[in-house]
Amino acid sequence: MTIPAYRRQDYIERSILKHIVSTFEQPNADLSGKVSYLDSKFRSDDKDKWVALTFIESGAGRKGETLLQVDVYVRNLEKSAAAADRYGYECARVSHLFEQALHVRTIQLYSFATPSSPSLQAKKFALVQNSDGRFREPNSIRVWGEYEDDIARRTLTYRFILPEDLSSAEQFDD
């Protein structure tokens, strides 16, 4: 018995990444044309802002949850008081752009059997729901305090589950 495509963890993770990338590729997106997607990292043109995306838990589709950690880094190169970002406002601004991209109730799931043209899985989606039960909200936000080597860091963690994960074990359909 094979696992349906929409429950495969690699397809769930790639669907989430596809959603994020397509959000930033829209013409009106704040980072459109300024950020490229390479190997689960978003980097800006000036090389002083980057975002690392890491799946730290992979259980959605198997009665568990998938956790995505979004680490936002901004290097503070300005040392003068007037131009310095001592309070991490730029880091907060960039992390807010990712919060906007993931401020959705659901993310459409795709089958990547043919990676060059992923096929839509009709009526199959992942829920963006934190552990408190709130939709569209990150599970946690951590600000790492003072600059370390002149780099500000902010970490967002998002939780994704499938509707099937919410049902009892007897009702889980294969």
pLDDT, tens only, 7-47: 888 889 989 988 988 887 765 555 544 444 434 455 555 56
Residue 53 corresponds to which amino acid? L
Report, in angstroms and rounded to the nearest whole number, the Rg of the chain calculated over CA atoms.
18
DSSP string, 90-123: HHHHHHHHHHHHT--SEEEEEE-SSTTSPEEEEE
Predicted confidence at residue 73, as pLDDT, reads 85
pLDDT surpassing 60 at residue 172 = no
By percentage, how much of the chain surpasses pLDDT 90?
26
Q: Domain segments of the chain: what residues?
A: 5-126+139-156
Predicted confidence at residue 127, as pLDDT, reads 93
By percentage, how much of the chain surpasses pLDDT 70?
74
